[in-house]
Amino acid sequence: MMTASKSRTATPATHYKATRCLLCGSGDLSLALPLADSAVGNDYLRDRQPQQKFAQSLHLCGGCGNVQIEDVVNPDLLFRQYTYSTTSSLGLVEHFRKYAAEIAGQVGLTAGSLVADIGSNDGSLLKAFADRGCRVVGVDPAVEIAAHATAEGVPTVPEYFSREVAARIRDEHGPAKLITANNVFAHSDQLPAMADAVRDLLDADGLFTFEVSYLLDIVQKMLFDTVYHEHLCYHSVRSLRSFFAQHGLQLIDARRIPTKGGSLRGTVQLAGGPRTVSPEVGRLIEWEALTRLHSPETFRAYARRIDAAKEQFVAVLDRCRAAGKVVAGYGASPTVTTLIDQFDLANRLDFLVDDNPVKQHTFSPGHHLPVYPSGAIYEREADVVAVLAWQYANPITAKHRRFAEAGGRFVVPLPQLQIV
């Protein structure tokens, strides 16, 4: 479900360092949160081979308050052969069904209305709108996934969303009553061009809705492991409101939602559009100011909390290793890659397990830990399971109650250390 426009790469095959704000263009960037370098977080391999690491420390824009990653990786390396599918994420398809029902009423969609989805992945969201009689079109650069979605009845353009693509869609289908971009708007290093493309495609009374990780949740809920190279920006309402205004668009609603541990759903219309601005926009901007979200000291305190969590978790694993225990890590996702690097876990784990067949029998990015099906915790006689996919700790521990009943222990690192 990812998108980005073609990268301005200083080293064409890999990456460039962002020296200006990806939202407002300001050069007033300062280090906010130092994080360990990491290989591309979702690049799980079928065989061991060298992988380059990239810087993923976060920098704060003194102009608009945007927070962004240090190294911008060439999007072709991230998305052209992308393997993630919406259906593999627990609860996300059902979330999209509810989302479609809610947004349809808000926008006033009728049979035949055009809905376009940026970063449409396997078409799960668009199928929910098609079931309501809407015409749909997706845009996603992952060639195989786009082809599969098209074959499944969701026409998908296998390209990055751009003004040229928007013009082609408008010429062929007309203006869009609704444009969506869920967990994708933070993935482009060309956000001004993307905003312009949205403006070009949007109907006069249409809406653009998007979901992104919310910076306030990332800080408050210890979601630093959601920082990886697909996610270039970490948004606040303050920075988004000013950004859209610069591109002939208006942020008219912003709401906190629980998706991905803590996300923001934004709603945008053309500048001067028919809808009034929700009071929630001003409320969240005020709350960001009260919590000093854009203060460097806030991020320094956050870094200290991360270091303390690492110290506690590593101490437990080191005691287990010293006692000769077999330690497995549960999870094989980009967030797990970040957590392994930030907490220096590679030499403290014997292997990883995951329930997604795509990740099974692969090697983890950078450190090449073997990944097995979750049954390996029994077959390989693990004594301890470190739940690295900690946001799913409850369903994981419930699914493997037998492991605990046989004397095994689950160790959950975040948001507070737990031993189950």
pTM over 0.85: yes
Quick check: 185 and 194 in contact, CB under 8 A? yes
pLDDT in the model for residue 260: 85
In angstroms, the CA 255 to CA 264 distance is: 6
pLDDT in the model for residue 76: 82
What is the mean pLDDT for each group of 10 consecutive residues in the chain (420 residues)?
36 82 96 97 94 97 97 84 54 77 89 96 92 95 90 94 97 97 88 96 97 96 96 96 98 94 96 97 98 98 98 98 98 97 98 96 98 98 98 96 96 96
pLDDT in the model for residue 94: 79
pLDDT in the model for residue 10: 38
Pairing of the two strands 176-182 and 202-213: parallel
Supply the CATH classification number for the domain 297-419. 3.40.50.720
pLDDT in the model for residue 75: 84
The fold of the 86-294 domain, in CATH, is Rossmann fold (3.40.50)
Position 118, amino acid: I
Domain ranges of the chain: 86-294, 297-419
Residue 37 CB contacts under 8 Å (≥ 6 apart), including other chains: 53, 54, 55, 56, 341
Two domains, one topology: 86-294 and 297-419 = yes
Quick check: 33 and 302 in contact, CB under 8 A? yes
